[in-house]
Chains A and B, each alone.
Chain A
């Protein structure tokens, strides 16, 4: 196999991962790691390292638009990063002592959780505001965003910030362990636990994914698990995919996309499980 053909294939994987990831508000790591390990036979530690870099690329690229359109709540992001970054370093250190076999099994479980979370996701239009939260008041976490679909500015209040912090630590651990953005954990932590609107949750999750992934990348660099030859084309493809997807976002039927995602991810989860157990 020539390096240029291999590079083009990696670029293609990046486009698919970045595109699907951006459409679903995820980083795309759920595609990169299985593709590299199952299709190309690449060592899972190196696949995770490459995935982390591409997750940073897609998240940073997509975050520019979310931030400029006032969709992401940067204060909440900065606050919760305390937990995701600590978790990510923990996860990266734990990953370095785990056998590839164990990583495959944990990856399969995380994918199954993602599939279920995305399949069941539905926008909650009318719901009770979250309970009063002294931390959220003191830190001025409450916010507002322009909701184009409803044609007005929507103000929201934030609650259960400490529960959010705990869940974000877990999301960080999974991100550092598996090289994924773990958006399927971050979004419910904000959407369901803290009471943020769905769109703000996705945008803020995307905004935080880059910093979370960067936290574990340091550990992967030191272990020699970041191969630029692998990571670079996937990152470029991921950026391209995310850019294309951000233009398609309004035009793709959300429900069909979610169901397709759930089925595909469940199938990948099974393959990863088989690889881990045999």
Chain B
């Protein structure tokens, strides 16, 4: 078999078909960028929240409510609608930046489905364009429910 190799000492090189390679490259890029940006925002926002005295005081109250087992703590950094996210952005305090980071993190896998759909479109793979379009629609519907 031409693909058989006995290369134990040097790393195994595997070149998938061009279509798969393009898909993998696009998906890996989206995931890496999404995770990097969102974790940086979360880190900066968290540090700002606990160091600024006004937000730290508020965070202390929220933490106390959370640890008391409150079902719906009156809340710091609990966004419910897209409006909450945009509203927070104008203030750009620690908790608002954390929220933005969390939202971008959740959007990362959704973005990789969208990008996969475009790669399949480029490959003229109609079946998988439809499959990824349905998945994307379901994902967006789940967010539109709120």
Measured CB to CB, the residues of A under 8 A from B are: 1-4, 6-7, 40-43, 45-46, 53, 56-57, 59-61, 63-64, 67-68, 70, 74-75, 78-79, 81-82, 85-86, 88-89, 92, 138-139, 143-148, 151-153, 155, 210-211, 213-219, 221-224, 226-233, 235-236, 239
Contact = CB atoms under 8 A, between A and B. Distances in A.
A3 B76 CA distance: 12
B43 A236 contact: yes
Given A151-B7, A218-B143, A239-B35, 18 more contacts: A43-B70, A45-B71, A68-B24, A78-B135, A79-B131, A81-B135, A85-B138, A147-B12, A153-B14, A214-B107, A219-B145, A221-B143, A224-B80, A227-B77, A229-B63, A235-B39, A235-B105, A236-B43
A56 B59 contact: no
Contacts of B8: 151
B31 to A, nearest CB: 5
Contacts of B35: 57, 60-61, 64, 239
B131 A227 contact: no
A74 B116 contact: yes
Interface string B42-60: 1101100110000010011
A215 B59 CA distance: 28
Nearest to A2: B60
Contacts of A218: 139, 142-146
B58 to A, nearest CB: 9
Given A60-B31, A211-B139, A1 B102 contact: no
Contact of A229 (B14, B98, B138): B98
Contact of A226 (B71, B79, B109): B79
17 contacts: A6-B63, A46-B71, A60-B109, A63-B31, A67-B28, A75-B23, A86-B138, A89-B142, A144-B3, A211-B110, A218-B146, A221-B143, A227-B75, A230-B66, A231-B102, A232-B46, A236-B42
B interface majority secondary structure: helix
Contacts of B45: 232
Contact of B146 (A2, A45, A155, A222): A222
B24 A67 contact: yes
A233 B66 CA distance: 15
A164 B108 CA distance: 25
A64 B112 CA distance: 11
Nearest to B77: A228
Nearest to A239: B39
